[in-house]
Each structure stands twice: as C-alpha cells, then as structure tokens.
Homo-oligomer: A and B are copies of this chain.
Amino acid sequence: METNQHVEKFYQAWGTLGSNWGINKTMAQIHALLLISENSLTTEDIMEKLNISRGNTNMNLRALMDWGLIQKEHKKGERKEHFVAEKDIWKVSRLIARERRKRELEPALKILEELRSIKDTDAESKRFKKQIDEVYKFTSMVDSILDKFIKSNTSWMMKIFAYIAK
C-alpha cells in the first residue's frame, strides 16, 4: 500500500511544523494522523502507527481534546474509546488560535499592561514607558484581531483573506 508512505510523510511533516511552533511533536503527529483518517482510531491504532507508548498516546490525546481538536466517539458494541478529529481546516485554525491566544498572548499582554501603568517620571522611565507602550499597542491589536478571527466563521475568514491577498 503506497498511501501509507504518504500518510507517514504527512504526519512527520506536521510533527516538525508543530514542534517549531511550540507544540509537542507527538501531539501534532497524532493530530495529523486523525486529520487524514477517514475512520475514528483507538489508542491502540495510534500507538501502533506512531510507535509510541500507551502513556504518551493517552496524554497527548487528552491534550488534543483540551484544545478541542479531537473528540471521543463511542462505537456501539465497542468498549474502547475511538477518536475523531475536526476535519475542517478553517475551524481547526480557529481552535488553535483560541488556545494560543489564551495560553501565551494573554499572559504577555497582562504583563505589558502592568508595566505600562508605571508612574515614574524620570527621563529613563519615560523612555522605557514609551517603548513598552508601542509594544503594548501592537500586541493588543494582534490580540483583538485574533479575537475577531476566533469568533468568526469560515466565510468571514475567506472574505478577509481574499481582501488581504488581493
């Protein structure tokens, strides 16, 4: 079966991409695997295909559920848990944006807000404040765009993307 090699290539690539963006490689690979699987997969299926331990598989499946990227599926007559991924890539991108905004951007923004509110008036503090202010303004703009994006639907996204790319 040729397709297996292609599937492997895909989840290897997705794993590398993920780890360059601060996401655990295995998590990204499991996600890739489910993303291109027609049918739901069990923990065993995943362990076998990716050659990883039960513990590792379980932990990363939980993480993917936390992110909202995959879901449990119960098959009648089967006791094992089956997992399916959200397949719509636009929706996937919104889910990822949501989590990263929450986990990384928001805490950074909080610190910038804190630093911005300094009341010192000597020259050095003023300069520092001014630079922080620019960083803050930029970051909160990114934050609000992300927010818009997360709450939007696919057709809005497509419209905006087309507008920008034109």
- Listed in ascending order, the chain A residues whose CB lies under 8 Å from chain B are 2-3, 6-7, 9-10, 13-14, 16-17, 19-22, 35-36, 38, 87, 89-90, 93, 103-104, 107-108, 111-112, 114-115, 118, 120, 122, 124-125, 127-128, 131-132, 134-135, 138, 141, 144-145, 148-149, 160-161, 163-165
How far does the Cβ of A129 sit from chain B's closest Cβ, in whole Å? 9
**A127 and B6 within 8 A (CB):** no
**A118 and B6 within 8 A (CB):** yes
Q: How far is the CA of A132 from the CA of B7 in the complex (A)?
A: 10
Residues of B within 8 A of A163 (CB): 163
The residue on B at minimum CB distance from A87 is B131
How far does the Cβ of A60 sit from chain B's closest Cβ, in whole Å? 18
How far does the Cβ of A25 sit from chain B's closest Cβ, in whole Å? 12
Q: How far is the CA of A107 from the CA of B21 in the complex (A)?
A: 14
Residues of B within 8 A of A16 (CB): 107-108
Residues of B within 8 A of A19 (CB): 22
Residues of B within 8 A of A138 (CB): 89-90, 93
Residues of B within 8 A of A112 (CB): 13
Q: How far is the CA of A112 from the CA of B16 in the complex (A)?
A: 13
Given A127-B38, A131-B35 in contact, is the A13-B108 Cβ separation under 8 Å? Answer: yes
How far does the Cβ of A120 sit from chain B's closest Cβ, in whole Å? 6
Which residue in B7, B141, B165 is a CB contact (below 8 Å) of A128?
Answer: B7
Q: How far is the CA of A120 from the CA of B9 in the complex (A)?
A: 16
Q: How far is the CA of A161 from the CA of B140 in the complex (A)?
A: 11
**A17 and B161 within 8 A (CB):** no
